[in-house]
Chains A and B, each alone.
Chain A
Amino acid sequence: MYLVTAVIALLAELLKITVTPYDPLLQNVGPSLGPPSPAHLFGTDFLGRDVFSRVIWSLPNDLFVSFAVVGIALVAGAVLGSVAAFKGGLLDELLMRFTDVIFSLPALVIAMVIAVALGPGLSHMMVALMVIWWPPYARVARGEALRVSHQNYIEAARFAGQRTVGIIFKHVLPNISLTLLIYATLDVATVVLTYAGLSYLGLSVRPPQPDLGEMISTSQDYLITAPWLPIIPGLVIAVAVVGFSLLGDGLRDALEAG
């Protein structure tokens, strides 16, 4: 059930990338601060830009950032965690303590620092998030890899002539991927929210590029007069977050029952 709704939400969002009635950057396509109407589904902002188009335009960025960050975190964390668990000993300690250090840094603060240092911009923001996002994956991966590495088939692989690297990639990683994927899907929602917060602070795209967080931040003064301006982007973010959360839940339920 949840799976279905979330998938629909996801697909709908992706489809919209192609459906943009108006050029989101053009100003004065409609009245300034016009309320939602048949011509402008989400209304227009203070510069007369169509909000609907802007929202649609900003979605792919959002999704791209979320998936990219989680994807990198997943891969980096998985490899790190598996190697640590499998080799054990000094390497394990070093890698895990390194993970702990990164983990203990306040994520948002560091992201802001990096973003400020590199300058605002989408790619810089993404880099900042990637740097700090992977520790939980490393932890989970290590736990799972420890469990897997004690299974007999790992030793059997050695009898088959496999060396450590081969074993990690052919046997360990495939068997821990399930747990990690479930965690990742749930995590996407968190990234969406975090990114929205950071872009609200102005650390991501520069105007006039549309971005959900940025849209909220520039329109918050109009909360009383043109409420659709800050509220609608906020709602869209909320829907995205809930959608991914439900997707993750559904995925987990489906896979655990199977």
Chain B
Amino acid sequence: MLRTENLTKYFPIRKGFNPFLRREQRFVRAVDGVSISVQKGKTAAIVGESGCGKTTLARTIGLMTKPTGGKLYFEEKEIVEGKIDRRLIYRNMQMVYQDPESSLDPRMKIGRSIGEPLYGLMKWEKKVVNQAVTRSLELVGLSADFAERLPRQLSGGQKQRVAIARAIAIQPSLVILDEPTSALDASVQAQILKLLLDLQKEFNLTYILITHNIAVAKYMADFVAVMYAGNLVEYGPCKTVISKPRHPYTIALITSAPVPDPTTRNLLQTEIKGEVPSAIDPPSGCKFHPRCPFAEAICTSTVPPLEELSSGHLVACHFVNKTA
């Protein structure tokens, strides 16, 4: 369905605009060579903390930013800069954003917001669009009269449902979900996650799910990709990566996630020191080495390549044998 090859996105740091001064370029290495693939009908979760590059990756896949390097393939066709037919691509690829408050134009009625992709991409006429909008609303559990309301009359959960309605109205094959429930209360979060899964089953949707929440990834994903400071450090089937993580960062990430069980307080036993590194001047070699309990000399000089441990399970670490 979707594939990236060594995708890179660097943001140059420039102070203002001055074409006459030559400055040594420094870059924020937001995405530093990521290769993943997502199969049709499955969910690939991209997990990481702030600054790891997952949002930039999502936006690059969504064609909102130009990659600095690497290749992107959608439905087996390479997406080449300058020859992008957005109208065609967005019929099959849509996105749901994290913040329900800013996803909808506050001055547009809900119905119009949901119908916008249908007008813009399919050029349907009003009657057809209205039917599609009603159907979309019903699919996300909202009654048809919501089409006449304004965003400020809706709760956060309802707004997020509308955002989902808008994304699926055009019946895409791929939906990019950028932290779709992080801004919602627990009870609402559960409703939305369940909705997303139901929709996936019904329409065989492919999801790319960006999240920092391991529990959400566990529940929703078939495959998990763990990112750290712009690099992919571990990738594999969800169950394998989460129950038997092999990269030291993945292990830290999973053990740090609070589990609602007071009898196993693993949270208090782990100790991950340090902070997420700067994206401008990352550590040499393996970017995790300053914080890694298994780091040795080679880790400071060489970037570990992604190696396949078992079928479909890839890890980028020199000392994978230590984490078995």
Query: A interface vs B, CB < 8 Å?
Result: 89-90, 93, 151-153, 155-162, 166, 171, 174-175
Report how far A43 CA is from B87 CA in the complex, Å: 70
Q: With A160-B90, A161-B90 as known contacts, state yes or no: A152 contacts B103, CB within 8 Å.
A: yes
Contacts of B95 in A (CB 8 A): 155-156, 159
Report how far A170 CA is from B108 CA in the complex, Å: 9
B90 to chain A: closest residue by CB: A159
Q: With A161-B86, A161-B87 as known contacts, state yes or no: A174 contacts B107, CB within 8 Å.
A: yes
B64 contacts which of A89, A155, A161 (Cβ < 8 Å)?
A155
Report how far A156 CA is from B90 CA in the complex, Å: 11
B102 contacts the other chain (CB 8 A): yes
Contacts of A89 in B (CB 8 A): 17
Size of the B side of the interface (Cβ < 8 Å), in residues, is 26
For the A-B complex, the count of residue pairs with Cβ-Cβ distances under 8 Å equals 58
Q: Are A162 and B116 in contact (CB under 8 A)?
A: yes
Residue with the highest number of chain A CB atoms closer than 10 Å, among B94, B99, B117: B117
Contacts of B121 in A (CB 8 A): 160-161
Q: How far is the CB of B298 from chain A (nearest CB, A)?
A: 42
Contacts of A90 in B (CB 8 A): 17
Q: With A93-B17, A161-B86, A161-B87 as known contacts, state yes or no: A153 contacts B105, CB within 8 Å.
A: yes
A152 contacts which of B93, B94, B102, B108 (Cβ < 8 Å)?
B102
A174 to chain B: closest residue by CB: B107
Q: List residues 59-109 of chain B with CB under 8 A from any CB of chain A.
A: 62, 64, 86-87, 90, 93-95, 97, 99, 102-108
A151 to chain B: closest residue by CB: B102
Q: List residues 148-202 of chain B with CB under 8 A from any CB of chain A.
A: 163, 166
Q: Are B102 and A153 in contact (CB under 8 A)?
A: yes
Q: Are A175 and B17 in contact (CB under 8 A)?
A: no
Known: A156-B163, A159-B94. 17 other contacts (CB 8 A): A90-B17, A93-B17, A152-B97, A152-B99, A153-B102, A153-B105, A155-B64, A156-B104, A156-B116, A157-B120, A158-B64, A160-B117, A160-B121, A161-B87, A174-B107, A175-B105, A175-B107
Q: Are A162 and B120 in contact (CB under 8 A)?
A: yes
Residue with the highest number of chain B CB atoms closer than 10 Å, among A89, A152, A159, A161: A159
16 contacts between A and B (CB under 8 A): A90-B17, A152-B97, A152-B99, A152-B103, A153-B102, A155-B64, A155-B95, A155-B97, A157-B105, A157-B116, A159-B90, A159-B94, A159-B117, A162-B116, A162-B120, A175-B107
Contacts of A93 in B (CB 8 A): 17
Q: Are A160 and B17 in contact (CB under 8 A)?
A: no
Report how far A162 CA is from B108 CA in the complex, Å: 15
A157 to chain B: closest residue by CB: B116
Report how far A157 CA is from B103 CA in the complex, Å: 10
Residue with the highest number of chain A CB atoms closer than 10 Å, among B102, B105, B117, B121: B105
Q: Which 4 A-B pairs have the closest CB atoms?
A: A161-B120, A160-B117, A161-B121, A160-B116
